[in-house]
Structure 1
Amino acid sequence: MPETLHEQLMRMASHVRDPQRHAPPPGIEARRLAVYRQLFFGNVESLLAGSFPVIRASLGTLRWRALVEAFYADYRSHTPLFTELGGEFVAFLEQGVKVGHPMPLWLAELAHYEWVEGVLLLSDSSDPPHDPEGDLLEGIPLLSPLAWPLAYRWPVSDIGPDYQPHEAPAQPTLLLVRRDADLRVRFSRLAPLAHALLASLQAHHWAGRQHLERLSEAVAVDSATLLPQGLALLENLRAQGVLLGTRA
């Protein structure tokens, strides 16, 4: 029985994705199929190379190509948008990579670190209703949608071709990434207390005083001692634009 058009297209797609495991559809020259594969794979590889330049440089040509080939052959993306391909690549790495070449343990975290910059750069998020002059202790502090606290086991901001650690350090890498009004994405290191406060603001709609009281319990510091320091930190974050003010 002749194959349907759908079956032919699926066989062709499978072969273009992974010619080693999937036979080509009958009646199409191998030369033409090779052109299709080169075109499609080349586009994907080029997009990923532009989004993850540090990973590409750190892995080298052989391992980078093997990684992209594994992604291209095995992963099923949930979006057709090229602008979201980086997020699909991060999800692929977080699932665990099965590649013929050994991959570093920090790979998924470094991919997330590189991906975040592009996400914030392209974000069209708008500010929720808020009071920019609101009381940050009694009101509910509002974190900007363009400011993300991040925590990594690996020192992702230092990893590159010349530094590739084999063991994660004892202390995590705590970062704040934000997009400024000039549309530049900036990364800055955070002290543990500042990161804990930002993560709490991100997770809970509590009054500022409640955030600080919970933190004082977590670090076993008297709340009367922590509150003035915490309020100063909240005000500093508002001055930087990390906090928009309080929820309306």
Structure 2
Amino acid sequence: MHEVLHDQLMSMARYVRDPQHNRPPPGIEAQRLAVYRQLFFGNVESLLSGGFPVLRTSLGPKKWQAVIETFYADYRCQTPLFTEISGEFVDYLAEGGGDALDLPPWVVELAHYEWVETALLLSDTREPAHDPEGNLPEGVPLLSNLAWPLAYQWPVSEIGPKYMPHEAPEQPTLVLARRGADLKVHFSLLAPLAHALLASLQERSCSGREHLEGLAKVIGMDGASILPQGLALLENLRVQGVVLGTRA
């Protein structure tokens, strides 16, 4: 009895996922199966449309529908939570999902850029213990867990239905995404030095002075020449709440 029920449920699940390549379970009217298909698929499509509005409008209705259908049929999500399906969709695209649909080369990065807003809005991460008045040059500056320095090959902040580039520009698009005290996610473009500093804060645990000296070596400058500008940048980032202060 249990095996029969299991087979029936799996047959129905396969059909609801991909009715083009799976037989319907016996004994259920086609009209009823269509209701289930629309209920489950419609919920996923609606969720992803809300999470990726620029990607959806840029691809157009037919291409977008095809992408969602292949994702729904082929990808095996690792979470049952609806709030995490957007991240699963980004993983699907990054792993080559939808390649057969001849998608534009910027799709993966644009999807990630849009997902970042959802991820930061829903994040329940806690900030580490810190001294908000700490000495940034000598102490260990701490980057907020809600501030993400990002680098993209494609100009993701500009792509949309009216601008869909065929070639990536020579310079990357450097972005800071952060959730502010107003509980909204803000995006800002970064200069190369600012992005390099934020990336260094994210990757290394050392004093502010050591961060700046390391960056100076990378770009072939003397540490003393970059220090005043770098320290002013650190202090400005603290004022914005991007840098919390120093490790307690």
User: Normalising by structure 2, what TM-score?
Assistant: 0.97
Separation in 1, partners of 2:6, 2:203: 46
Separation in 1, partners of 2:107, 2:13: 28
Separation in 2, partners of 1:54, 1:80: 25
What do the CA deviations read for 1:70-96 (whole angstroms, capped 9, x no partner)? 000000001111111100000001001
1:246 maps to 246
| 1:58 partnered with 2:58 | yes
Please state how far the C-alpha of 1:211 moved relative to its aligned partner: 0.8
Please state how far the C-alpha of 1:101 moved relative to its aligned partner: 3.2
1:40 maps to 40
Separation in 2, partners of 1:174, 1:220: 21
3-state SS of paired residue (1:149): strand
Separation in 2, partners of 1:3, 1:207: 62
Separation in 2, partners of 1:19, 1:3: 23
2:181 maps to 181
Please state how far the C-alpha of 1:11 moved relative to its aligned partner: 1.2
Please state how far the C-alpha of 1:126 moved relative to its aligned partner: 2.0
Please state how far the C-alpha of 1:100 moved relative to its aligned partner: 5.2
Please state how far the C-alpha of 1:3 moved relative to its aligned partner: 5.3
One-letter identity of the residue aligned with 2:28: I
1:112 maps to 112
Given that 1:67 and 1:99 are in contact with CA atoms closer than 8 Å, whether structure 2 keeps it comes out as: no
1:148 maps to 148
Please state how far the C-alpha of 1:120 moved relative to its aligned partner: 0.9
3-state SS of paired residue (2:60): helix
Number of residue pairs matched by the alignment: 248
Separation in 1, partners of 2:68, 2:15: 16
Please state how far the C-alpha of 1:98 moved relative to its aligned partner: 3.1
What do the CA deviations read for 1:167-210 (whole angstroms, capped 9, x no partner)? 10000000001111111211001001110110010011111111
1:87-166 equivalences in 2 (<5 Å): 87-98=87-98, 101-166=101-166
2:220 maps to 220
2:18 maps to 18
What do the CA deviations read for 1:15-52 (whole angstroms, capped 9, x no partner)? 11001111122221222111111111111000000000
Segments of 4+ in structure 1 off by > 6 A? none
Please state how far the C-alpha of 1:7 moved relative to its aligned partner: 1.6
User: Normalising by structure 1, what TM-score?
Assistant: 0.97
Please state how far the C-alpha of 1:135 moved relative to its aligned partner: 0.8
CA, structure 1 residues 120+98, in 2 after alignment: closer, same or farther (shift >3 Å)? closer
Separation in 2, partners of 1:3, 1:136: 64
One-letter identity of the residue aligned with 2:35: V
One-letter identity of the residue aligned with 2:27: G
Structure 1, unaligned runs of 5 or more: none
Separation in 2, partners of 1:244, 1:136: 10
Separation in 2, partners of 1:139, 1:2: 63
One-letter identity of the residue aligned with 2:8: Q
Given that 1:175 and 1:190 are in contact with CA atoms closer than 8 Å, whether structure 2 keeps it comes out as: yes
Separation in 2, partners of 1:69, 1:247: 47
Higher mean displacement: 171-180 or 4-13: 4-13
RMSD: 1.3
Higher mean displacement: 30-39 or 170-179: 30-39
Separation in 2, partners of 1:2, 1:124: 40
Percent of matched pairs sharing the same residue: 69
Structure 2, unaligned runs of 5 or more: none
Please state how far the C-alpha of 1:99 moved relative to its aligned partner: 5.6
